[in-house]
């Protein structure tokens, strides 16, 4: 087995000591290149019933031995080492600051994991009689109530498996609402700063997405909205705070303009963590909002999921919620399928219940005051980084920041040729995951490359200081030795990867001939 010892020896580092990233990592071959024929890590129970003559039963439907699924042939030790070694090639929140803007990488409390693995939750089957699921239904009911309280809604569905599926679910309900009134509007208005999922959700549900311009101040341009709204407007889909980290100060007007034209207001709740206890969207007229439990409510992101995207609704959309909903009478809970105007199901079963358990645990641990404080600290931390960094990385917009701040490479690129991507890659050498980059799109940030930084409330002032100093040091490096920054990262176990080659001739699975 080859090993590789990391070194950090660039001149600059000796001068200013970045966080140590020295580490022993194993170059780990694909699992298919390990083991030996016949080896297995399985422990199967014995056959205690009569054997079956498979040939007689299935004949030519049997999979020929030579065409068996080519799965690895390795022991439990090999499997354990493989996945332990691979895990060490990952950055993670438990390793350090992960300031991905809009993704809200806050700390995931360990108690959530313990609770989610209680057998009384983890081993439940979705088709058990409801009389045997009373605790689970009580939890779903209580989570729905808590999310409605935070969002200002009357009801919510927990079914959507992620934020984007929540968007789709919301749009389905909006369509059903209009159809119920004999209307068939076809357009959904979406600010150009929105997440890509918003227009994509519209398309796959048959709506046409119409972009709205961001105004000179970074907020939605109200004139652009007024000009776009008409009786073909099904809804506006708006993120608040926007992806620029700015609160839409004219939100009251926006809601009124859309409602007056017969449209509904969908709020993308990706940034709800900036609002808890301060602003309840449903209470001021938002008709529908998805909530990313994996952002605001600390369920882990899992390397790309599972997420969970409950959708809160006001009275207008309540009849259209997916079935089943959880119903309650006294201390008994049941599943309500009798909802004639429902859009139907969006999940195989009840949504990502394991994530519901974690989010509920977090909410109960925090209480109302705690959630409000989480929002306050998230906004404080973002504004602190803004104040520390604005002299080096100019803002995309000057308006007050909420939970995240969007900085740009405007000055750096002009003065040194070093740009956002290079800064991001160099940050890894300092021991951080980079922020979200090039989003919002350059069209929204005046052509500059965006660095969208969201520190979250779970970071200490010391961590924020060290991060800010790293970003400032990188700007200095860019002035002194721009080529070094453009070649970054230097300390990671693997260097910049050839993404063009990967896309030109995609190799999406392991094959024996491709092996080394």
Touching another protein, residues 194-253 (CB under 8 A)? 195-197, 199-209, 247, 249, 251-252
Strand-by-strand arrangement of the 264-268 sheet: 155-157, 311-313, 288-290, 264-268, 233-239, 187-191, 208-212
User: Which positions from 442 through 461 interact with another protein, judged by CB under 8 A?
Assistant: 461
Residue 237: strand, helix, or coil: strand
Q: For another protein, which is the closer residue by CB, 414 or 506?
A: 506
506 binds another protein (CB under 8 A): yes
User: Which positions from 140 through 159 interact with another protein, judged by CB under 8 A?
Assistant: 146, 149-150, 152
CB 241 within 8 A of CB 247: yes
Could you tell me whether strands 155-157 and 24-26 are parallel, antiparallel, or unpaired per DSSP bridges? unpaired
Q: C-beta of 267: minimal distance to another protein in Å?
A: 12
Compose the 255-274 pattern: x for residues touching another protein by CB under 8 A, - for all others. Answer: --------------------
Rg (CA), the chain: 26
17 binds another protein (CB under 8 A): no
d(CA 481, CA 470): 16
Out of 15, 111, 230, 415, which residue is the one contacting another protein (CB under 8 A)? 111
Q: For another protein, which is the closer residue by CB, 120 or 414?
A: 120
Q: For another protein, which is the closer residue by CB, 2 or 414?
A: 2
425 binds another protein (CB under 8 A): yes
User: Which positions from 342 through 371 interact with another protein, judged by CB under 8 A?
Assistant: 343-355, 357, 361, 363-371
Instruction: Of 410, 411, 409, 407, give the one whose Cα is nearest residue 385.
Output: 407
291 binds another protein (CB under 8 A): no
Residue 333: strand, helix, or coil: strand
User: Which positions from 168 through 187 interact with another protein, judged by CB under 8 A?
Assistant: 168, 171-172, 175, 179, 184
Out of 135, 315, 447, 479, which residue is the one contacting another protein (CB under 8 A)? 135
Q: For another protein, which is the closer residue by CB, 408 or 439?
A: 439
Out of 12, 18, 99, 139, which residue is the one contacting another protein (CB under 8 A)? 139
**Judged by CB under 8 A, which stretch of 9-17, 129-137, 448-456, 474-482 contacts another protein?**
129-137
User: Which positions from 43 through 72 interact with another protein, judged by CB under 8 A?
Assistant: 43-45, 47-52, 54, 57-58, 60-63, 67-72
Judged by CB under 8 A, the number of residues near another protein is 196
Out of 15, 17, 20, 86, which residue is the one contacting another protein (CB under 8 A)? 86
Q: Taking the C-alpha atoms of 163, 166, 170 and 176 in order, what is their torsion angle to the nearest 10 degrees? A: 150
d(CA 131, CA 154): 26
Q: Please list, in sequence order, all residues whose beta carbon lies within 8 angstroms of the beta carbon of residue 374, skipping any fewer than 6 positions away.
A: 273, 276, 366, 457
Cβ atoms within 10 Å of 126's Cβ, excluding its own: 11
In this structure, what token pair is assigned to residue 486? 């453009």
Cβ-based burial of 404 (10 A; exposed 0-12, middle 13-18, buried ≥19): buried
Q: C-beta of 113: minimal distance to another protein in Å?
A: 7
Could you tell me whether strands 450-453 and 436-437 are parallel, antiparallel, or unpaired per DSSP bridges? antiparallel
73 binds another protein (CB under 8 A): yes
In this structure, what token pair is assigned to residue 186? 């076809």
Q: For another protein, which is the closer residue by CB, 150 or 229?
A: 150
Instruction: Of 169, 195, 18, give the one whose Cα is nearest residue 104.
Output: 195
Out of 6, 19, 92, 261, which residue is the one contacting another protein (CB under 8 A)? 92
User: Which positions from 468 through 487 interact with another protein, judged by CB under 8 A?
Assistant: none
Cβ-based burial of 123 (10 A; exposed 0-12, middle 13-18, buried ≥19): exposed
Q: C-beta of 460: minimal distance to another protein in Å?
A: 11
Q: C-beta of 483: minimal distance to another protein in Å?
A: 14
Out of 291, 316, 412, 428, which residue is the one contacting another protein (CB under 8 A)? 428
d(CA 220, CA 265): 14
15 binds another protein (CB under 8 A): no
Instruction: Of 144, 138, 174, give the one whose Cα is nearest residue 156.
Output: 144
Q: For another protein, which is the closer residue by CB, 166 or 221?
A: 166
CB 293 within 8 A of CB 357: no
For residue 114, what are the CA distances in angstroms to 89, 118, 265, 329?
25, 7, 38, 30
Q: C-beta of 375: minimal distance to another protein in Å?
A: 9
**Judged by CB under 8 A, which stretch of 10-18, 386-394, 408-416, 447-455 contacts another protein?**
386-394
Q: Please list, in sequence order, all residues whose beta carbon lies within 8 angstroms of the beta carbon of residue 265, skipping any fewer than 6 positions away.
A: 235, 236, 238, 254, 255, 258, 259, 285, 286, 287, 288
Q: For another protein, which is the closer residue by CB, 414 or 513?
A: 513
* Max CA distance (Å), the chain: 79
101 binds another protein (CB under 8 A): no
User: Which positions from 300 through 339 interact with another protein, judged by CB under 8 A?
Assistant: 300-308, 322
């Amino acid at each position: 087995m080859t090993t590789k010892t990391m070194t950090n020896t660039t001149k600059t580092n000796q001068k200013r000591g970045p966080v140590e990233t020295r580490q022993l990592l194993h170059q780990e071959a694909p699992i298919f290149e390990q083991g030996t024929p016949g080896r297995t890590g399985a422990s199967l129970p014995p056959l205690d019933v009569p054997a079956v003559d498979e040939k007689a039963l299935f004949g030519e439907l049997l999979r020929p031995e030579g065409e068996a699924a080519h799965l690895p042939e390795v022991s439990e030790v090999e499997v354990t080492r493989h996945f332990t070694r691979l895990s060490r090639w990952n950055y993670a929140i438990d390793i350090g600051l992960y300031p991905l803007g809009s993704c809200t990488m806050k700390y995931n409390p360990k108690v959530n994991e313990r609770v989610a693995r209680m057998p009384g939750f983890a081993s439940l089957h979705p088709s058990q009689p409801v009389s045997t699921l009373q605790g689970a239904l009580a939890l779903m009911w209580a989570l729905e109530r808590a999310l409605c309280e935070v969002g200002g809604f009357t009801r919510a569905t927990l079914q959507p498996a992620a934020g984007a599926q929540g968007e789709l679910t919301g749009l389905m309900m909006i369509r059903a609402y209009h159809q119920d009134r004999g209307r068939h509007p076809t357009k959904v208005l979406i600010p150009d700063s929105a997440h890509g999922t918003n227009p994509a959700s519209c398309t796959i549900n048959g709506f046409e997405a119409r972009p709205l311009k961001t105004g000179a101040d970074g907020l939605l341009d109200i004139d652009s909205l007024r000009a776009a709204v008409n009786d073909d407007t099904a809804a506006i889909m708006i993120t608040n705070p926007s992806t620029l980290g700015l609160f839409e100060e004219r939100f009251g007007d926006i809601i009124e303009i859309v409602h007056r034209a017969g449209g509904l207001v969908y709020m993308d709740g990706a940034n709800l963590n900036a609002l808890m206890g301060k602003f309840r969207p449903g209470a001021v007229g938002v008709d529908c909002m998805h909530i990313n439990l994996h952002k605001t409510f600390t369920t882990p992101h899992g390397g790309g999921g599972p997420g969970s995207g409950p959708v809160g609704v006001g009275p207008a959309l309540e009849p259209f919620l997916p079935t089943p909903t959880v119903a309650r009478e006294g201390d008994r809970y049941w599943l309500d399928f009798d909802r004639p105007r429902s859009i139907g199901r969006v999940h195989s079963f009840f949504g990502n219940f394991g994530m519901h358990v974690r989010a509920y645990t977090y909410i109960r641990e925090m209480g109302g005051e705690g959630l409000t404080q989480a929002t306050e600290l998230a906004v404080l931390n973002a504004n602190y980084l803004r104040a520390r960094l604005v002299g080096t990385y100019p803002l995309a917009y000057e308006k007050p920041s909420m939970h995240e701040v969007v900085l740009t490479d405007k000055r750096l690129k002009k003065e040194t040729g070093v740009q956002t991507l290079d800064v991001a890659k160099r940050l890894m050498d300092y021991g951080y995951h980079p922020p979200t980059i090039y989003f919002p799109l350059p069209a929204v940030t005046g052509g500059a490359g965006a660095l969208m930084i969201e520190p979250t409330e779970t970071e200490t002032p010391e961590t924020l200081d060290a991060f800010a100093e790293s970003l400032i040091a990188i700007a200095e490096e860019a002035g002194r030795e721009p080529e070094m920054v453009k070649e970054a990262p230097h300390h990671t176990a693997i260097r910049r990867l050839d993404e063009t080659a990967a896309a030109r001739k995609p190799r999406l699975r392991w094959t024996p001939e491709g092996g080394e």
